[in-house]
A and B are shown apart, each in its own frame.
Chain A
Amino acid sequence: MIKKQNELKKFWKIRGMGAALTAFIGLIVIYIAFGLINPMVFSGQNILNLLRSMSKYLLIGVAQSCVMITGNIDLSLGSLVGMSAMIVATLMVSGVPVIAAIFITLLCGIAIGILNGLLVGKFKLPPFIATLGTMFVARGIAYMVNNNRNTDNIGIKLGKGSADAFQQFFYYGKTAGIYNTFWISLILFIAFFFLLSKTRTGRHIYAIGSNVEASKLSGVDVVRTTIKTYIFSSVCAVIVGFILCAQAGMGNMEAGNMYEMYGVAAGVIGGVSPLGGSGLLLGTFAGAAVWQTLENGLNMIGAQVGIQRIVIGIIVVLAVLMDVVIRSGKKIKIANKSTK
C-alpha cells in the first residue's frame, strides 16, 4: 500500500505531469459537455472519426513540441505538409512506385529539416526567422512541383490498386477496428515519447532547451542535437502530408496551411513551454485531443466556424495563463525560501 502511494507520488512529481494531467481533465470535461448537448458525440463512429482526425494534430503537435522543448520553433511545418503532399502525389502520378515515392518525399522533408537545423544550430539564426524563411521556401516548392497546379487523381498511372493501397494505409483502412491513421500517429507518438524520456538524445533535447551554455560546457553537441530535432519534426510533418494526400486522393498545394500553429497550440495546451526545457509529450497528446474535440464538438452542436476559432483561441491563452499564474505563485514561494 505504502509502495503504491510512493509510486503515485513519483508519478505526480515527474516534471510537466501536472500540466499534462490538467489538460487531460480539461479534455474529459469538454468531451462530456459536448456529449450532453449532442449525444451523437458519444457515438462509436464519432469516436473513431475523432481519433482519426486528431492524428494529424497529434503528429504536428509532437513535432512542434520536440522543437519547442529545445527552446526553438519550427514555422516551416505547415508548408512541409503541403510540400510533401504535393511531392508524393506528383511522383505517384508520374509513375514512381508508392514505396519509392514515399521514400523520396521523406528525404526531401529531411533535407528541409537539416537546413532548419543548420541555420538555427550552426549559424545561430533566430529560429523564428530561419524557419520563417524555410516556411516560404517549402510552400513555394509545393507550388512548383506541378507547375502551380494541384495534382489530381494519384492513381492515374500506377493503377487503382497501388493508389488504393496508399489511401487505405494512411487514411481509410482500419486495423483492429480503429483507423490506421490513428495507429500510425500513436506509434510515432510512442516512439518520440520513448526518445525524449529514455534516450541520450532526448535528454540533450531538454538540456539545450533549459540552458544552452551549460549543455555546451558539459560536452553536449548542441548543433547536432538541434539538427536532429528539426529532422524529427520534419519527418512528422511529411507523414501528415501523406495522410492529407491519402485522404483527398490528390496533392493540394495549400495542404497543411497554418498547421505549424496548431502544433504550437497542441503543445502549449498540454504544458510544453515555448521557452524550452520543459514539457511532456503526454501533454501534447492531451492538447491535440482537446483541439480536435473542440473542433468536432463545436461542429456537432452547430457552432459557426468563427465561434470555433474564437473558442480555440481563448482555450490556448487560458491554458498558458493558468500555467503562468501557478508558476509565479510557486516562484514567490521558492524565492521566500531561498532568501531565508
Chain B
Amino acid sequence: MAVLSKEEAKKILEKVISFSKAEGCTTNLNGNERGNIRYARNSVNTAGENSNVALSVQSYFGKKSGSASINEFDDASLEKVVRRSEELAQLAPENPEFVEPLSAQTYGGESKTWTEATANITPEYRAKAAADSINPAASKDVTAAGYLEDSHGFNAMMNTKGLYAYNKDTGVDLTVTMRTNEGTGSGWAARTLNDVSKLNTAAISNIAIEKALKSRNAKAIEPGKYTVVLEASAAADLVRLMLNLNARQADEGRSFLSKKGGGTKLGEKLVDERVNIYTDPWNDEVPASPWSGDGQARKRMDLIKNGAVANLTYDRYWATQKNVAPTPNPGNAIMDGGTASLEDMIRDTRRGILVTRFWYIRAVDPQTLLYTGLTRDGTFYIENGKIMYPVKNFRFNESPIIMLNNLETLGKQERAVTSEGNPNGLIPSMKIRDFTFTSLSDAI
C-alpha cells in the first residue's frame, strides 16, 4: 500500500476532492517504505523497516484555511478528514498571506528520481552491506560504525483548481566511520544515491579504513590562516550554507543578501567569478522532483552566475507583494567544477591542509554567514606538493562567502554527502587560500 502508482493515487485524491464543500482545497498523499541497518563496535546493533501512507487536506474559505490528516483510506475516513479540515478552516483566523492554489501545471515528463533496484533492497542486502564494512575493518585492527538507510516512496498533490502532480523516488544513504583500535586514527566516507546499483559498500568502507590508518598519531600545528584543499564533502558542508537565497528575508533587511541602505544584492557580484551554481531537476546525478511542495513546476535556474547573485527565491505570497514571478523551491544544487583532481591540487600546494570533512557547523552571525565548526576524520598537512603527515583537528570560523572569494582552484564535481542533512548537491572539491582556523581540538 505504501507506494501507490500515479493512477492509484489520482483515484484516491479525486474521491477526496469530491467530498469538498469548501471554496477550494488542496490534498497531498504521500507514502514511503524505509529500511535501515546500524552497526558499531564491529557488530550490528539495530535493523528495521517501516512504512507509512498519509493523506492531508487543506480547505479554505476566503483567506481562512485549515488542515487535517489521516492514514486510513475507506470512504468514511476520506470524508471525515475533508469535513475536519473545513471545520478548522471556519474556525481559523484570516491569514493575509494566504494564496489560492495553482491551476493545472505542466511538469515536463517523468523524473529520474526512481530506480527499481533501490525499491527492491532486502534485509539480506543490508546485512551484507554491514558485513562488507565490518569484515575488512576487523581484519585491519579497525572498528567499524555505520548506517545504511534506503527508502522508496511517492508524493502526489491535487487541488480543486485542476492541478495534479505526482512523483516517486528512491534513495539510499550510507555513512561509515572507521576508528583504529589503538584509538589515534579515524576515517569517514559516505555516499548518497538514488540508484543502489551504483553503491559499493566495500569500496567506500575501504576509503574510510585507509583514512583511519593514515590519520594515526596526528601532530599539532598552530591554528591560523591556511590554504586548504577541501574534498567535495567538506566543500559542500560550507557551500550549502549560502544557498538560502530567500528574497523576503533579503528585502526585509535580515539576510546576508540585504544591502546597506536598503535593497538586495540581486545581480551583484558576491564571490569569485568562476563560481556558477544552478538548480536543475533533470540532472542525471542529482535528480529532483519536477515540482515543488506548492505545486510549481521546477526548471533549470541559475542561482549564482559568474560569481553574481542570479536569482532570489520568491514564495507565491512574496511574489505577489513584489510583483514578480514566484520561484519554485529548488530541489537540488549543482556547482560547476573544474578539471583538477585532488592529487593535482595537492601537488600545486606549497603549504596547506587537506580536509576530508567538517563537523558540527553552526551559524555564528547570520549577517555575514559566519559559521564555526571543526575538521574531522582525516586532516593532513601538505608541504611542497606532498601530504606530509596527519594533523590534529582544527576549529574554523569562516563564511562561505569569504571562502568563495578566496577560491584558488576548482576540482571535480561529486554528489557530496555533508555532515548534517542531505543537500542533494553536486559540488566540486576545491582549493581555497586564507581559510581561517581559530583553535586546535584533541578530538579523534
Are chains A and B native binding partners rather than an unrelated pairing?
Answer: no
